Amino acid sequence: MRFTLLLISLLLTRSLFSQITASETTHDFGDIYTDTQTYADIVFTNNTAKPQYLLTIDKPRDVFYIFSGKKLLPDSSIVIRFKINDGIKGKFTYQVDVYFSDSADPIPIILTGNIKETTGNPLTDCPDFNSNPPAGELNFSLVVKVIDSITREPIPNAQVYLVERGELVGNYSTNQKGIVIKNVPLGFYFITAEKNPYTSNYFEGYVNATRNYVEIELSYTEPELVIYEEPETIDYTAPDVDTISIDPVTIEDVEIVEVPEDSVPEITEPVIIEPEIIPPLTAIPDTLLDPDYFKYSNITFILDASSSMNSSGKMELLKLSMIELVKMLRPEDNITVLKYAAEVDLVLQHTSGDKKDEIIAAIKGIKTSGSTAGGDAIKTAYAMNREKFIAGGNNLIIIITDGVFNKGATDYDATIESNFKTYGTRFSVVGIKTTDFVAEHMQNIVKLGGGEFIEINTVSDAQTKLISEIRRTAYKG
């Protein structure tokens, strides 16, 4: 109780005399397992009219940090990444005091969580949180080189995608030396490279001014051999005219009926009612959700936040696919977001499509941990979706996952089937880098719910495939 009152007092005191603000002052890591992210990026913004400076950071010995710079110009920001020592099991609460030149009082940052599994390497090699980086600007030159995995030769004209916290920040082509050089902020990036007929590959990790070179190897894929088959020969020869019997018709055989002149009806122009023309789906630009052609959507997302999603860039692809969709939503569209790991949690409830910043911030904040309670999440999702049901609209449940559900309810297939038959609520699955076994299992499930199974393996998939599914289910044609 005394600690809580002290913290409130510090926050109130600082708010009266300081104008540097933090994006968050309390960060809960939740349950931490082997693959769980154990750092948090907090943005500090200078709201004053003068330059300010980062002076010092007073921290416990089990907290480490790295910062993007010390000088904050007016209306500018720096990022401080705090990492906790995940080598000791148990609950923790750490207070870190960050001092800036605008006030004698610190900004207190509270870090909490519960370490369930230790990594055995609490400091990690990337980045070295035990030492400070060189002071400097937020941006630096990042070099990405794409090469053939066998020949080691550079691959020109390969597409390189930079994703940071689930948002696409760059899409570039390599030069003749297989290189892309771009000025970017330091951070944790998911970087992929793609070019046909190679198999796409990726890098995932922290980059900064001293760790600014990334090399991505692509494996050549043999093009599928197409066997040409001679088409069946069809005889188009016309029949012999001499063999066709035609009965002659003479003028005497035709009965002529005379119509009195005064009995001819007056001809009037018919009234033609033009039907509403809806163009084919393929003819409508894929960047539009025009209400003339697409129903309003009530979508409940179920997001897999289990620990398996923390590898191979799966969580970044999940976030990217959703953020790309959010950018297209209309104010009349309704979004609810659930996440599931060991338990089912509500991330966002019945939020209209015009609140894009709020939705994107919630998506970016999702973290992974624990096992997979997907069955329970599906039942919860249908209950939430019914609360905002749109009669005649596009009511849809979408689960985004990398695997099958190994915890919780197992009778979700009946829920999916009954809701589709009774209310027309569709159920679709987005598979993030799934196995063939998982893909087959999910395809059987979506048939019950009138939906589709969509595979996302690359950044280009994440940019388009979820949007295509919403357009398909909402299309009025």
Instruction: Give the long-range contacts of residues 421-424, CB within 8 A, separation 24 or more.
Output: 423/386, 423/389, 423/395, 424/395, 424/450
Q: Would you place residue 370 in the very low, low, confident or very high pLDDT band (cuts 50, 70, 90)?
A: low
- The overall average pLDDT reported for the chain is 81
Fold of 139-220: Immunoglobulin-like (2.60.40)
> Is residue 447 packed enough to be buried (19+ CB in 10 Å), middle (13-18) or exposed (0-12)?
middle
What pLDDT, in 10s, does the model give residues 325-351? 999 999 999 999 999 887 888 999 999
Q: If you compute the radius of gyration of the chain from its CA atoms, what whole number of angstroms results?
A: 31
Q: Delimit the domains of the chain by residue range.
A: 2-115, 139-220, 285-474
> Which has more confidence, 137 or 298?
298
Find which of 36-45, 159-168, 206-215, 256-265 is predicted with most confidence, using mean pLDDT. 159-168
Q: Would you place residue 91 in the very low, low, confident or very high pLDDT band (cuts 50, 70, 90)?
A: very high
CATH of domain 2-115: 2.60.40.10
Sheet with 107-115, edge to edge strand ranges: 26-32, 107-115, 90-100, 52-58, 71-72
Q: Would you place residue 395 in the very low, low, confident or very high pLDDT band (cuts 50, 70, 90)?
A: very high
Look at the block and give the residue holding tokens 């046909």. Answer: 196
pLDDT higher than 90, residue 140: no
| Lowest-confidence region among 123-127, 295-299, 433-437, 468-472 | 123-127
* 285-474 matches 139-220 in CATH topology: no
The closest alpha carbon to 427, from 410, 446, 402, belongs to 446
Q: Would you place residue 477 in the very low, low, confident or very high pLDDT band (cuts 50, 70, 90)?
A: confident
Q: Full-prediction pTM beyond 0.75?
A: no
In the prediction, which pLDDT does 131 show?
44
CATH of domain 285-474: 3.40.50.410
Average pLDDT for 363-383: 79
Q: C-alpha dihedral over 419, 425, 426, 427, to 10 degrees?
A: -50
